[in-house]
Amino acid sequence: MASLNSHAKDLSRFWKGNILWDSPMSQFSSFKVGGPAEAIISASSAEDLNKLLQWLQKHDIAWWVIGRGSNILVPDKGLAGVIIVLEGEFRSMEKLMPADHAPEEEKIYMRAGGGCLLTKLVNYCTLQSLSGLEFAIGIPGSIGGAIVMNAGAWGSEVGALVESVSLMNKNGRIFAEQGKNLGFSYRKWTMPSNTVLLSATFGLKPGSSHDIKAACRKYQELRRKNQPLAEPSAGSFFKNPPHESAGRLIEAAGLKGYAVGGAKISEKHANFIVNTGDACATDIVNLMHLVQQKVYKRFDIKLEPEVHILGGED
């Protein structure tokens, strides 16, 4: 990949919007850690995103699209390239009329942009008595991030509700795809790297307002009771191995409360690594490796992180 430094002036002339230069990624990450990105750019429309991706591809500049930074870890050294934040039309949502989508008995369709908060969609559906997304209440991050990692909780996953999506490939071409063709599996999809989710359409069902609100309250209470919501984290750090719980393995390995620098295994939930206030990304990565080593030594199971380490660990 080419250095952005040699193309900085060209990018400033090309991009009409605001550019944050050498800005710390800690402000864009729920972990509150991370070194500076060479440039951070907000894209507000598919047309602007198309132009930007084509320019970056032409100049061989590395880039990443982030939602709300709830499932990423940026190294302390920062990132050489461009971080793209989806704003504007990408944060919209709308209920579709039957003519806007293939009708199906008892289904109501909601379309949300890739940069829309998942919580915002869940709250809207709750108010509209639309059932299906109750399990997602309290899951931080954007629609795009939730779909790329097939976010889930309490035995349900976002991918099961996705009817169709609008995508953009790394060259800026827009195309549509059916949800069933996205290759959803546990905490991932199978679309090519650097495929950007522009919007997604969800198939939901009318439900009882009382039952939907009760389910949301139940899940919120479970989160408050079992998860360290008051401390910066990226949610569940490791994927659950087949027929196992990562949190149980970590706790059984005697690591609950163990700390490396300012990073600590939560005493409330062992599958959460939290920033106690002065952690750096290296602390978190080192603690991740220690957990993997200890659990592997004791149980012969290699834990795989859910969190995406942008730019690698070096």
| 304 is annotated as an active-site residue | no
What is the rounded end-to-end Cα distance, in angstroms, of the chain? 16
Return the number of other C-beta atoms located less than 10 Å from residue 308's C-beta: 16
Query: Which member of 38, 134, 157, 306 is catalytic?
Result: 306
| 89 is annotated as an active-site residue | no
Query: Which member of 68, 91, 111, 187 is catalytic?
Result: 187
| 187 is annotated as an active-site residue | yes
Nearest to 15 by CA among 50, 41, 37: 41
d(CA 259, CA 282): 12
d(CA 131, CA 204): 6
Q: Chain-centre distance of CA 40, in angstroms?
A: 17
Q: Hey, which residues are catalytic here?
A: 187, 236, 306
